[in-house]
């Protein structure tokens, strides 16, 4: 049987050019090709992140969880106060990380499927001097997108640093790091950036970097921005350097994927395509008689759909979809996970309507097999490409 189509919210299907860049013997970290790839990738990250010229991109080996932790331990130290905008599973992780850094953590909860109330975040920030506001751009457990703009602007106006988890958003959702005054926007390679898992990526503002300089408790060495800064600066000047061996294969692929992103109508064109695909898929879900976990459609993510099972259908749907050649994911939000499933729609598949149609068809046919009657042909027709 042919390889199933991977439609989970990361890892995702990658483009043929990225796949090609991942093959072959691993290059040396100081080979001319890798020195150039890192230099180009750093510049492209500022472009994709829409960050200031003096912002600092970091390319580290690891996942999204490492990215979150690196950001926190370069900004927070024991006794600092952090406010967490809690929209789901990954915001809870952010809060726990800040607690483990011995920060005082205040959590502003959103109802499942909702975004947090801005006035409550404002009140939490105003209650005491706060070092950092932690935001999850798209919480992958709910498919809800938080608009970081008013939150970052609010934080900035109060002298609080904003740290935004863009793991399920970067390069698929609008983010204007410089214009919104955001301080750290972090992600991982396996989502809308269009790579296999393995790279932890972030951009830090000069304000965030100054916070690192003022820390009295140093971060662990391998996670310290100050340790990594001269390495990244050397590569940007097209000189090889060494602190800890980077993932050269993935860095080569990163350059290819960032080139694809900026070539294709630039970052804005890329995000507009994610938006259009998400709109079409939501049209298909609704035609199949399905609804989203996300309460207000305007807050539904471009990068994934968290879709409620219809009456009489449960998690057995996932294996029925897989039997039709498509892999989707189960629910992730504790207490609700048996009520919904998740479909990722980011990166390469957004350029391939045929793959999206295959996904809708597999889900529609699986729903029928599980006892839910629906119009599969009509739903597939919602994907116009």
CB of 63: closest distance to ligand PMP in angstroms? Answer: 3
In the bound state, the residue with its beta carbon closest to ligand PMP is: 64
Largest Cα span, the chain? 62
Ranges within 79-118 binding ligand PMP (CB under 6 A) = 90
CB of 157: closest distance to ligand PMP in angstroms? Answer: 26
Stretch that binds ligand PMP, among 25-33, 160-168, 289-297, 373-381 (CB under 6 A): 160-168
Whether the CB-CB separation of 288 and 374 falls below 8 Å is answered with yes
CB of 368: closest distance to ligand PMP in angstroms? Answer: 30
Whether the CB-CB separation of 306 and 292 falls below 8 Å is answered with yes
CB of 136: closest distance to ligand PMP in angstroms? Answer: 5
CA angle 349, 196, 59 (to 5 degrees): 120
3-state secondary structure of 58: strand
- Cα end-to-end span (Å), the chain: 27
Q: Which is nearer to ligand PMP, 91 or 361 (CB)?
A: 91
CB of 127: closest distance to ligand PMP in angstroms? Answer: 26
CA gyration radius, the chain? 21
CB of 123: closest distance to ligand PMP in angstroms? Answer: 25
Q: Which is nearer to ligand PMP, 306 or 383 (CB)?
A: 306
Asked if residue 310 binds ligand PMP (CB under 6 A), the reply is no
Asked if residue 347 binds ligand PMP (CB under 6 A), the reply is no
Q: Label the pairing between strands 161-165 and 184-188.
A: parallel
Total residues in contact with ligand PMP, by rule CB under 6 A: 12
CA angle 163, 90, 316 (to 5 degrees): 155
Q: Which is nearer to ligand PMP, 219 or 310 (CB)?
A: 219
Asked if residue 72 binds ligand PMP (CB under 6 A), the reply is no
Which residue in the block uniquely carries the two structure tokens 């080569």?
Answer: 252
Asked if residue 188 binds ligand PMP (CB under 6 A), the reply is yes
Main-chain dihedrals φ then ψ at residue 300, nearest 5 degrees: -75, 135
CB of 188: closest distance to ligand PMP in angstroms? Answer: 4
Asked if residue 61 binds ligand PMP (CB under 6 A), the reply is no
Q: Which of 167, 202, 294, 367 binds ligand PMP (CB under 6 A)?
A: 167
Stretch that binds ligand PMP, among 59-67, 102-110, 285-293, 375-383 (CB under 6 A): 59-67
CB of 35: closest distance to ligand PMP in angstroms? Answer: 26
Q: Label the pairing between strands 329-330 and 340-344.
A: antiparallel
Q: Label the pairing between strands 138-139 and 144-145.
A: antiparallel
Strand order in the sheet with 56-61: 56-61, 199-204, 184-188, 161-165, 132-136, 81-86, 104-109
Which residue in the block uniquely carries the two structure tokens 């920030």?
Answer: 125
Q: Which is nearer to ligand PMP, 10 or 148 (CB)?
A: 10
User: Would you call the peptide bond into 256 cis, given omega within 30 degrees of 0 as the criterion?
Assistant: no
Which residue in the block uniquely carries the two structure tokens 């370069």?
Answer: 74
Q: Which is nearer to ligand PMP, 69 or 183 (CB)?
A: 69
Residues interacting with ligand PMP, by CB under 6 A? 10, 63-65, 90, 136, 139-140, 165, 167-168, 188
């Amino acid at each position: 049987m042919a390889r199933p189509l991977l439609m989970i919210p990361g890892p995702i299907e990658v483009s043929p050019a990225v796949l090609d860049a991942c093959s072959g013997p691993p290059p040396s970290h100081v080979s001319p090709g890798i020195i150039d790839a890192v230099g180009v990738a750093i510049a492209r990250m500022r472009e994709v992140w829409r960050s200031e010229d003096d912002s600092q991109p970091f390319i580290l080996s690891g996942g999204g969880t490492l990215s979150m932790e690196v950001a926190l331990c370069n900004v927070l130290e024991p006794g600092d106060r952090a406010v967490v905008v809690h929209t789901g599973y990954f915001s809870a992780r952010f809060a726990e990380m800040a607690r483990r850094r011995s920060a005082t953590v205040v959590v502003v909860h959103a109802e499942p499927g909702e975004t947090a109330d801005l006035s409550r975040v404002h009140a939490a920030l105003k209650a005491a001097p706060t070092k950092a506001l932690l935001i999850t751009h798209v919480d992958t457990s709910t498919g809800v997108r938080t608009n970081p703009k008013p939150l970052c602007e609010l934080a900035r106006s109060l002298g609080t640093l904003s740290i935004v988890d863009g793991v399920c958003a970067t390069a698929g959702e609008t983010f204007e790091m410089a214009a919104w005054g955001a301080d750290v926007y972090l992600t991982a390679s396996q989502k809308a950036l269009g790579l296999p898992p393995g790279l932890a990526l972030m951009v830090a503002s000069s304000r965030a970097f100054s916070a690192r300089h003022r820390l009295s408790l140093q971060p662990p060495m391998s996670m310290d921005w100050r340790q990594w800064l001269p390495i990244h600066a050397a590569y940007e000047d097209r000189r090889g350097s060494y602190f800890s061996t980077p993932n050269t294969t993935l860095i080569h692929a990163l350059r290819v994927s960032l080139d694809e992103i900026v070539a294709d109508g630039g970052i804005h064109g890329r995000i507009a395509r994610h938006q259009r695909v998400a709109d079409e898929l939501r049209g298909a879900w609704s035609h199949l008689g399905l609804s989203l976990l996300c309460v207000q459609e305007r807050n539904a993510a471009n990068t994934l759909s968290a879709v409620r099972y219809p009456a009489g259908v449960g998690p057995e749907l996932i294996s029925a979809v897989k039997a039709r050649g498509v892999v989707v994911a189960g629910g992730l939000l504790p207490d609700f996970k048996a009520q919904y499933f998740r479909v990722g729609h980011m990166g390469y598949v957004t350029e391939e309507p045929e793959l999206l149609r295959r996904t809708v068809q597999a889900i529609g046919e699986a729903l029928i097999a599980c006892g839910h009657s629906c119009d599969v042909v009509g739903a597939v027709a919602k994907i116009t490409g």
